[in-house]
Amino acid sequence: MKQFPFAKPLMHSSNHPDLAPFFSFGISVDCVVFGYDGVDVKVLVIERGADPYMGYQAIPGDLVHPQEDAVSATQRVLRDLTGLENIYLEQLYTFAGVDRHPLGRVATIAYFSLLKIGDYNPKPSSWATDAQWMPIQELGEMAFDHKEIFDAALLRLQHRVRNQPVGFELLPEEFTLADLQHLYETLLNTQFDKANFRKKILAMDLLVPLDKLQNAVRHRPARLYQFDAARYEELSKRGFHFEL
Amino acid sequence: MKQFPFAKPLMHSSNHPDLAPFFSFGISVDCVVFGYDGVDVKVLVIERGADPYMGYQAIPGDLVHPQEDAVSATQRVLRDLTGLENIYLEQLYTFAGVDRHPLGRVATIAYFSLLKIGDYNPKPSSWATDAQWMPIQELGEMAFDHKEIFDAALLRLQHRVRNQPVGFELLPEEFTLADLQHLYETLLNTQFDKANFRKKILAMDLLVPLDKLQNAVRHRPARLYQFDAARYEELSKRGFHFEL
DNA sequence: GTTGTTTTAGTACTTTAGACCATTACATTC
DNA sequence: GAATGTAATGGTCTAAAGTACTAAAACAAC
Q: What is the pLDDT of residues B103-142, one digit of tens each?
A: 789 999 999 999 999 998 776 665 545 789 999 999 999 9
Distance from CA of B49 to the nearest CA of A (A): 8
Nearest to A103 among B12, B97, B125 (CB): B12
> pLDDT tens, B90-110?
999 999 999 998 878 999 999
Are B110 and B15 within 8 A, CB to CB?
A: no
Asked if strand C contacts B54 at the CB level, meaning under 7 A, the answer is: no
Half-sphere exposure of A187 (CA within 13 A, CB side): 30
A54-71 confidence digits (pLDDT tens): 889 999 999 999 999 999
Task: Give tens-digit pLDDT for B204-235.
Answer: 999 999 988 887 777 888 899 999 999 999 99
Q: How far apart are CA A129 and CA A34, in angstroms?
A: 18
Restricting to A residues 91-130, those with a Cβ less than 8 Å away from any Cβ of B are 91, 93-94, 96-98, 102-105, 107, 109, 125-127
Closest by Cβ to A91, choosing from B26, B62, B94? B94
Q: Would an 8 Å CB–CB cutoff place A1 in contact with chain B? A: yes
CB contact under 8 A, B52 and A10: yes
pLDDT of residue B95: 97
| DSSP helix/strand/coil, A33 | strand
Residue A28 CB partners (closer than 8 Å, separation 6+): A61, A62, A63, A64, A101, A106, A107, A108, A109, B6
Check residues 187 to 216 of chain A and report those whose beta carbon is under 7 Å from nucleic acid strand C.
Answer: 193, 195-196, 200, 213, 215-216
Question: Higher pLDDT residue, B31 or B218?
Answer: B31
Q: Which residues of chain A are under the pLDDT cut of 50?
A: 1-14, 128
- The set of strand C positions with any atom below 7 Å of a protein CB reads 3-10, 17-22, 25-29
Check CB contact under 8 Å for B104 and A14.
Answer: yes
Strand, helix or coil for residue A170: helix
Question: Residue B24 has what pLDDT?
Answer: 87
CA A231 to chain centre: 24
- Residue A99, CB, less than 7 Å from strand C? no
* Burial state string for B114-150 with b = 16 or more CB within 10 A and e = fewer than 16: bbbbeebeeeebebbeebebeebeebeebbbbbbebb
pLDDT value at residue A215: 78
**SS3 (DSSP) at B48:** coil
Rounded to the nearest 10 degrees, how much is the dihedral formed by the CA atoms of A210, A211, A214, A215? -150
Q: Is B240 on the interface with A (CB under 8 A)?
A: no
**Torsion of Cα atoms, A91 then A69 then B69 then B93, to 10°:** -30
Average pLDDT, chain B: 88
CB contact under 8 A, B69 and A8: no
Average confidence (pLDDT) over B239-243 = 91
Helix axes B146-163, B177-188, angle to 10 degrees: 140
Q: Hey, is B187 helix, strand or coil?
A: helix
CB B75 within 8 A of CB B122: no
pLDDT exceeds 60 at position B177? yes
- Nearest by CB to residue A104, choosing from B13, B98, B125, is B13
Tell me which of B221 and B58 has the higher pLDDT: B58
- Does residue A52 have a cis peptide bond before it, meaning omega lies within 30 degrees of 0? yes
Q: Is the dihedral of CA A155, B150, B63, A23 positive or negative?
A: positive
The answer to whether the CB of A70 falls within 8 A of the CB of A64 is yes
Query: Residue A235 — φ and ψ, nearest 5°?
Result: -65, -35
Q: How far is B230 from chain A (nearest CA, A)?
A: 24
Spell out residues with C-beta < 7 A from strand D.
Answer: A 176-178, 194-196, 198-199, 219-223; B 193, 195-196, 199-200, 213, 215-221, 243-244
Question: Are A44 and A132 spatial neighbours (Cβ–Cβ below 8 Å)?
Answer: yes
pLDDT tens digits, one per residue of A79-128: 999 989 999 999 999 999 999 988 789 999 999 999 999 998 776 665 54
Count of C-beta atoms within a 10 Å radius of residue B186? 17
Q: Cα–Cα distance between A36 and B114 in angstroms, integer?
A: 39
Q: Do B26 and A26 touch (CB under 8 A)?
A: no
